Amino acid sequence: MDDDDGVPLSQLANEAFSTVLPHNTKPGPARGPTDFSGLGAALNGGGGAALVANGVTSGAGPGSTAAANGTGPGPGSDAAANGAGPGPGSDASAAAGARRPKVHGKLFQDPVHDAYRLDPLCALIFDTRQFQRLRNLKQLGLTYHVYVGASHNRFEHSLGVAHLADRFANHLWRLQQGDTEVERRDLKLVQIAGLCHDLGHGPFSHVFEREFLRRKGITTWEHEHMSTAMLDFIVDENHIDALSRTDITRVQNMITSGHGNMAPAGQRWLYEIVANGRNNIDVDKFDYLMRDSHHCGVKTACNFNRIMQFSKVIDDEICFKYTEYRNLYELFHARAAMHRAVYTHKKVTAVDQMVTDALLEADPALRISDKIHAPADFQLLDDSLLNMIENFEMFRGMLNLAPEDDAAMKSSQAIIARLRRRDLYKYVSDALIPPEDLERDRWVAPTPQDIVNSYRGSGVRLRAEDIILHENKIDYSARNKNPLDEVHFFDDLDATDKRKLRPDQISSMVVAHHQERSLRLYSRNSSPQHVQAAHEAFDSWCRGRFGSKVITSTPCKPPRPPPPQPAANALAAGVDAVGGKRARGLFVGDDDTSPSNLVQAKMARQ
C-alpha cells in the first residue's frame, strides 16, 4: 500500500526547500515529473522564498515573489497575506495541471518493515516505467518453484533497501552531532542509491548473469554496472532535473561499492551503507535476509536493528560496538544458512539449469543476449520471458525465422513443458571439495566427459550432453576469510578510538573455514537407469580424484517398485492386502464402513 497523505506540509516545508527545490530552479519548459510549478503555493506559506518553476509564476507566502524566465514577477504575483495561495492576477493557474512531486513523498506498508515513507526525490524515480519493471522480477528468481512463498519481487526489496539506507544514514549522521562534512541532501542520495541498486538485474535473478550469460561466453557483464547505466537512462528518459550530474555520479559510486578515493574526506562512510565493499555489512544484505527468510519461512537469529543501533562513524568508517561481534557473525552465518537451505536448494538448482537451457535454445530467435548492452533494450527483459517462449505461436508469423531457429524454439518450449509438469532434471549426487584443495588452488573442475569416461558399467549408454556439473559455493561473503577481520569496533558510543577484535577474544566456537564448495551432478535424462549409471560414474570419478575419504551425499534414491496388486479375497473383504487396514473410498458409498459394504464383507467371510 502506498499513500500520499499523513504528514503536515508545514513540518516538511523547510526540508523540501533545502533538498528538492534548489535543483530545479532554472527556467524552462515543463518537463513532466519534475515540474514544480506552484510548489510554493502548496507549502502553506513558505515566507520569503522566490520560486522559479519551469517558467511559471506562482505565489509562495508573505512577501515572496516568483520570477518567470527571468522577466520578474507579473502583476499581482505576490502571495496573499496569509500565504495560503497566490494573490489576485497571479499566473499560478497555468501550472495547475502540471505533474509535480508530493512534498512529503510516499508512504508504503511493508510486511517486513511495517510503514515507512520515502523522499520525494525517490518518487521521481520509482514512478517510472524502468523502475516499475522490477515488479516483474522475482527477488529469488526461480526459487518460487520450490518455496511457494518466495513470490516477492525486486520492487519491494529495492524500496526496503532505500528505507533502511535512510534509517542507517540518519542514525550515523545524528551521532556525529554536526561534526561532519555531510549535509542532509547527501543522506537523500544514499536513499536513492538504495532504491536504484538493483535496477540492472536481469530475469530470474542471478541465473541470467551467472548461468545464461556465462554459458554464452559473456563473463564481464555485471548487474551493478547495468544499474548505474539504467539510472542514467531513467534520468534522461524521464527528464529528472532534480538530480545534478554530480549527484548521479555519487549515487552510482554508492551502488558499485565505490569508497575510499571516490569520496572526499568526511563523506566516505556514506559509501559503506548500501554496498559495502570493505566488509560486506550493508543494508542490502539486511533487507534481503529479512525479506527472504520471512517469505520462505526460514528463521534467522541475527538482530539487524541492533547492528544499526550500535554503530557510529570513526575515522570516516562505520564501526560497531564490540558487544555486537556475535550478532555480526550471525549475520554472515544467516546468509550461509539461507544459501544452503533456500538459494542453492538442490531442486532450485535443477530448475535454474532447465530455464538456462531453455533460454540458450531460444536465444538465436529472440536475441536475448543482444539486449544487455543498451538500457533501452535491457528494460524489455523480465520474468515474462518464459511465457513469451511458451506462447511463441501467438506471434510466430510476425517473425521471419530460419528453419533452425524455429526448431530451437520448439526445443526451448519442450524444456518449459517439462518444467510445467514437474519433470525436473534429476539431482544425482554431490561431493564436498576438500578445503586444502581450495586453499592451495589445486582444484580443477571436471567436464561432463570426464564423468562419462569414469563409468564402468555396461547396461546404460551415458552421454556427456545429459550430464550437468554445477559447483555450489557457500561462504561468509569474504571467500575463505572471516569477514569480521575487516571490521573495526569501539567500546561505547562516546569512544573516539577503534580497534579490531580477534575471534578468540570473543568465543572459541568460531569456525575454522568460512567457505564450502561442492560439486553437484544433475542428469537431463530422468530415467531411473540413467540416473543410477550417472551416480556410479560420479562416485568412481570422486574416488579417483579425492581418494577413499571423499564425502559424498546420500546415494540417489532407488526407483520405486510398482504397487502390489491386492488379492481377490482381500478386495471382497474390503481389506488392504498390504497393511490389513480397511480402505476408504473417495465418494459417498465407496467407504467400506458404509452399511452396504459391511453387509457384503460379512457375507464374504461366511
Report the distance separating Cα 343 and Cα 144, nearest Å.
11
- Cell numbers for 511, please give them: 569456525
Residue 381: half-sphere exposure toward Cβ, Cα within 13 Å: 27
Beta strands in 366-495 (DSSP E): 426-432, 467-475, 489-490
Q: Is 267 within 8 Å of 182 (Cβ atoms)?
A: yes
Q: Is 186 within 8 Å of 270 (Cβ atoms)?
A: yes
- Cell numbers for 15, please give them: 526540508
Q: How far is CA 463 from the centre of its chain?
A: 36
Give whole-number Cα distances, 59 to 63, 103, 115, in Å.
Answer: 9, 16, 34
In terms of Cβ atoms closer than 10 Å to its own Cβ (0-12, 13-18, 19+), residue 331 is buried
Closest C-alpha among 332, 240, 341 to residue 297:
341
Amino acid at 205: S
Element housing 312 (H / E): strand 311-314
Q: Which residues contact 551 (CB under 8 A, 6 or more apart)?
A: 431, 432
- Cell numbers for 80, please give them: 496573499
Give whole-number Cα distances, 465 to 16, 43, 149, 322, 461, in Å.
Answer: 61, 67, 33, 53, 12
Element housing 114 (H / E): strand 114-118
Report the distance separating Cα 353 and Cα 142, nearest Å.
10
Report the distance separating Cα 279 and Cα 476, nearest Å.
10
Beta strands in 81-227 (DSSP E): 106-110, 114-118
Report the distance separating Cα 507 and Cα 331, nearest Å.
16
206 is catalytic: no
Sheet containing strand 489-490, edge to edge, reads 311-314, 317-321, 489-490
Of 152, 157, 223, 295, the catalytic one is 223
- Cell numbers for 99, please give them: 505533474
Q: How far is CA 90 from the centre of its chain?
A: 48
Neighbours of 552 (CB within 10 A): 18
**Which residues form the catalytic set?**
223
